């Protein structure tokens, strides 16, 4: 014998809360998806722009003479390219070490702040030789 | 024999209950639909962004390769770059989102469109002597992007230097 009372037909508070939690979970997941997607695209763009800035500096070194590449740590770079403006607070540093006579290793670091104020960095290294560059 | 005793509420849904249920289902469906449409739009915007990015990188790569292979950066302005090789000349022309690469040799001319993307702006800057004895070309590519993807005006620049007395390295 099945006896149903009026009380059993209504939603309990727990049912409503569970349904709301499931709905909120769905909305939260969708929002997280968008935020992650946007953040990753922005990161990709900034990283690529920074990498090209670093590559430009490598090209500048290759076009100069061996003697013109000064040995030193964290020498500030002048990032005058227009793309530097699209990378927030971009700063460039050059570190040059003479690994052996006639051979220098240059490391270019580009650091910037992401939109979430996190410090980001890319690094490119190259080796230049006196024979290759002259000077 | 099973006897069922049902009170009024157990007999079925009333019209008002049905209407409320349909209303709630509609709201959920509309929210789901909006979410889905947004995901599709976002994916589309992202794909278009990657297409423009690939086109921009392709142009930068070609210019870099040609400058490194050139004997001389002969001339140029914001929308034009002329590179001279031993036996040929390479000209880049950028206008209205279109970048043309024309390679002129003694016996043949090759004219190709290397990028055709609406709103893509390509600019060449021929710079002075930094480092000394070198001439540099800074290629800057920027375009308007859908703000939905969080980047309004992506800009990429690459500077390639060429020694006046010869090729780099």
> Residues A119-127: what's their mean pLDDT?
93
**What pLDDT, on a 0 to 100 scale, did the predictor assign at position B128?**
65
Residue B18 is assigned to a structural domain of this protein? yes
Residue pair B99/B92 in contact (Cβ under 8 Å)? The answer is yes
- How much is the pTM? 0.77
Residue B168 is assigned to a structural domain of this protein? no
Question: What's the CA dihedral at A35, A41, A44, A49 to 10 degrees?
Answer: -120
Residue B8 is assigned to a structural domain of this protein? no
Residue B5 is assigned to a structural domain of this protein? no
Residue B138 has pLDDT above 80, yes or no: yes
Residue B167 has pLDDT above 60, yes or no: no
Touching A: B residues 18-77, CB under 8 Å: 28, 31-32, 35, 38-39, 42, 46, 49, 53, 57, 60, 64
Structural domain count, chain B:
1
pLDDT in tens, B29-73: 898 888 889 888 888 988 999 999 999 999 999 999 999 888 888
A3 token code pair: 């006896």
- Nearest CB among B132, B155, B159 relative to A85 is that of B155
**What pLDDT, on a 0 to 100 scale, did the predictor assign at position A1?**
52
Residue whose C-alpha is closest to residue B120's, from B98, B152, B87, B135 = B98
Q: Give the Cα separation of A37 and A121 in Å (integer).
A: 20
Can you tell me whether residue A112 is helix, strand or coil?
Answer: strand
Asked whether the beta carbons of residue B2 and residue A2 sit closer than 8 angstroms, the reply is yes
Q: Which segment of A19-23, B89-93, B137-141 scores lowest on mean pLDDT?
A: A19-23
Residue B64 is assigned to a structural domain of this protein? yes
* Cβ neighbours, 10 Å, residue B1: 3
Distance from the first to the final alpha carbon of chain B: 99
B96 token code pair: 């209205």
Nearest CA in chain A to B148: A38
- Name the most confidently modeled range: B27-31, B146-150, B161-165: B27-31
Q: What is the DSSP string of A25-75?
A: HHHHHHHHHHHHHHHHHHHHHHHHHHHHHHHHHHHHHHHS-TTTS--EEEE
CA distance B87 to chain A (A): 23
- Nearest CB among B32, B130, B156 relative to A83 is that of B156
CA distance B140 to chain A (A): 7
Q: Give the A-side interface with B, CB within 8 Å.
A: 1-6, 9, 23, 26-27, 30, 33-34, 37-39, 41-42, 45, 48-49, 52-53, 55-56, 59-60, 62-65, 68, 81-86, 115, 132-133
Residue B169 has pLDDT above 70, yes or no: no
Q: How confident is the model at residue B130 (pLDDT cuts 50, 70, 90)?
A: low
Asked whether the beta carbons of residue A42 and residue B131 sit closer than 8 angstroms, the reply is no
Domain extents in chain A: 11-133
Mutate one of B130, B159, B164 to test the A interface: name it (highest A CB count within 10 A). Answer: B159
pLDDT in tens, A25-65: 888 888 888 888 888 888 888 999 999 999 999 988 888 88
> Domain residues for B29?
13-163
């Amino acid at each position: 014998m099945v006896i149903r009372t009026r009380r059993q037909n209504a939603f309990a508070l727990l049912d409503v809360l569970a349904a709301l939690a499931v709905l909120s979970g769905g909305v939260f997941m969708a929002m997280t998806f968008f935020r992650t997607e946007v953040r990753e695209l922005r990161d990709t763009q900034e990283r690529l722009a920074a990498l090209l800035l670093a590559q430009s500096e490598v090209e500048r070194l290759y076009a100069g003479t061996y003697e013109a590449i000064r040995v030193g740590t964290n020498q500030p770079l002048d990032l005058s390219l227009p793309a530097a403006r699209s990378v927030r607070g971009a700063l460039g540093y050059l570190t040059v070490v003479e690994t052996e006579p006639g051979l220098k290793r240059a490391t270019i670091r580009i650091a910037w702040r992401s939109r979430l104020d996190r410090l980001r960095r890319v690094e490119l290294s190259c080796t230049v030789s006196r024979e290759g560059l002259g000077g | 024999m099973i006897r069922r005793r049902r009170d009024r509420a157990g007999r079925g849904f009333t019209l008002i209950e049905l209407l409320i249920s349909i209303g709630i289902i509609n709201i959920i469906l509309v929210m789901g639909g909006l979410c889905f449409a947004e995901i599709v739009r976002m994916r589309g915007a992202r794909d278009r962004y990657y297409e423009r990015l690939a086109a921009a990188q392709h142009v930068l790569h070609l210019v870099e390769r040609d400058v490194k292979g050139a004997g001389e950066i002969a001339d140029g302005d914001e929308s034009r770059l002329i590179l001279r090789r031993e036996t040929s000349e390479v000209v880049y022309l950028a206008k209205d989102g279109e970048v043309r690469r024309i390679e002129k040799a003694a016996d043949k001319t090759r004219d190709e469109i290397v990028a055709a993307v609406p709103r893509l702006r390509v600019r060449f800057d021929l710079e002075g002597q930094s480092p000394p004895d070198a001439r540099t070309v800074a290629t800057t590519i920027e375009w308007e992007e859908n703000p939905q993807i969080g980047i309004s005006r992506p800009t990429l620049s690459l500077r390639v230097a060429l020694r006046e007395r010869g090729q780099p390295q």
